[in-house]
Chain A
Amino acid sequence: QAWLNEKFAPELLESKPEIIECVVEQLDHMEANLKRAKRGDLKVSVHRMEMERIRYVLSSYLRCRLVKIEKFFPHVLEKEKSRAEGEPSILSPEEFAFAKEYMANTETYLKNVALKHMPPNLQKVSLLKSIPKPNLDSFVFLRVLERQENILVEPEMDEQ
C-alpha cells in the first residue's frame, strides 16, 4: 500500500521506517531459511521467487522516494526544517543525510563552475526558488474506504 501511494503521489510522503525494517527482516529470514533447505527442493524456487518479488517492491519504493528527494531537494529539506515537533517526518535519517549531501554537492558544483565567476551581486542563487515545487494539483487515484454521502470534491485533494 505504501508503495502504491508513493508511486502515485506527486510529492514525497511520510517516511515509513517500521515497514521497511519489517520487510528487510523478512527477506533476511527467508534467505536464512533457504540456505538451510535441501537442494532441489521445489519450495526453494517458489520462495526465491517470492523473495525476488518482495525485493523488487522494496527497491521500487525506495527508488521512488529517492527520485522525489533528488527532484525536489530544496523543498524537501525546507519542509523538514520547518517541521513541528510532533509531526511525523517525511524523511528517514538516512534519507535526510542523503538529501543534505546532495544539496551540498550541487551547490558546491554550481558555485565553483559558474557562480564564483559572476559579478558579485549575482553570486548567490536561491535553489529553493529556482527548483520547481511538486505539483500538488496533479491528479491522483483514490480508493474509497467507507461509503460516504455527499462529499464535495474540492479542487485540492491529497492522496488517500
Chain B
Amino acid sequence: SEAKSGRTDLIFLIRFRHCCLLRNQRCLLAYLYDRLLRIRALRWEYGSVLPNAIQFHMSAEEVEWFNQYKKSLATYMRSVGGEEGLDLTQDIKPPKSLYIEVRCLKDYGEFEIDDGTTILLKKNSQHFLPRWKCEQLIRQGVLEHILS
C-alpha cells in the first residue's frame, strides 16, 4: 500500500525496512535452530528420556521436535543391524578392553548381565563388569569408570 503512493523516495524506505525484517528473521531462526541442535545433542548424550531440569527449559514445540527426532532415529537404528538393530549411541569410543572396573555413584538397584547373574548396584560399591553393559549407565552418571 505504501508503493501505491508512487513516490520513489519511499521505495528506499521500504527496501530498508524489508532488509531489517529479513535480518530479524535470520537472527530469530538462527537462535531457534541453534537450540534445536543442542536438543539433538541431548538425545545422544542423555538417551531417550531427558532429565526434568532440562525438559523444564524446553518449549512444548521443542519437546515435540525432540520426540519426533528420537522416533526417527529409533526407526533408523532398528533398520540397520539385523533383527534388533544397532544402537548407534553406544560404542562412542574405541573399545580398549572387554571388562572394566566401575564404581557405583548412586543406588541403582539390581542390574542383570549377560550370563544371567544379577548384581546389586549400591552406592560406592565396585564391580568388574562387561564394558558394553556399562556404557549407558556411565553416561547417565550411575557408574563411574575407574582408570587405574
Tell whether, in the assembled complex, residue A49 and residue B65 are in contact, meaning their CB atoms are under 8 Å apart. no
Task: Judge if B139 is at the interface, Cβ distance under 8 Å.
Answer: no
Q: List the B side residues contacting A139 at CB < 8 Å.
A: none
Report Cα–Cα, A45/B64, bound state, in Å.
43
Interface string of B101-140 (1 = CB under 8 A from A): 0000000000000010000000000000001100000000
Tell whether, in the assembled complex, residue B25 and residue A122 are in contact, meaning their CB atoms are under 8 Å apart. yes
Interface string of B1-43 (1 = CB under 8 A from A): 0000000000000000000011001101100110010001000
Task: Judge if A28 is at the interface, Cβ distance under 8 Å.
Answer: yes
A-side interface residues, number (CB < 8 Å):
38
Given A28-B82, A125-B25, CB of A106 within 8 Å of CB of B94:
no
Given A20-B80, A24-B81, CB of A105 within 8 Å of CB of B65:
yes
* Chain B contact residues, majority secondary structure: helix
Q: Which of B29, B61, B64, B76 is the one whose CB lies under 8 Å from A94?
A: B76
Interface centre among B33, B93, B131 (most CB of A within 10 A): B33
Q: Which of A24, A59, A122 is the one whose CB lies under 8 Å from B91?
A: A59
Q: Which of B40, B76, B115, B132 is the one whose CB lies under 8 Å from A52?
A: B132
Tell whether, in the assembled complex, residue B95 and residue A62 are in contact, meaning their CB atoms are under 8 Å apart. no
Tell whether, in the assembled complex, residue B72 and residue A106 are in contact, meaning their CB atoms are under 8 Å apart. no
Tell whether, in the assembled complex, residue B80 and residue A94 are in contact, meaning their CB atoms are under 8 Å apart. yes
Q: List the B side residues contacting A155 at CB < 8 Å.
A: none
Q: List the A side residues contacting B86 at CB < 8 Å.
A: 24, 55, 58-59, 62
Q: What would be 15 A-B contacts, judged by CB atoms less than 8 Å apart?
A: A20-B80, A24-B82, A24-B86, A49-B98, A52-B131, A55-B86, A59-B86, A62-B88, A66-B88, A94-B76, A102-B69, A106-B33, A119-B21, A122-B25, A125-B25
* Interfacial residues, chain A to chain B (CB-CB below 8 A): 20, 24-25, 27-28, 39, 45, 48-49, 52-53, 55-56, 58-60, 62-63, 66, 70, 94-95, 97-98, 101-102, 105-106, 109-110, 112-114, 118-119, 122, 125, 130
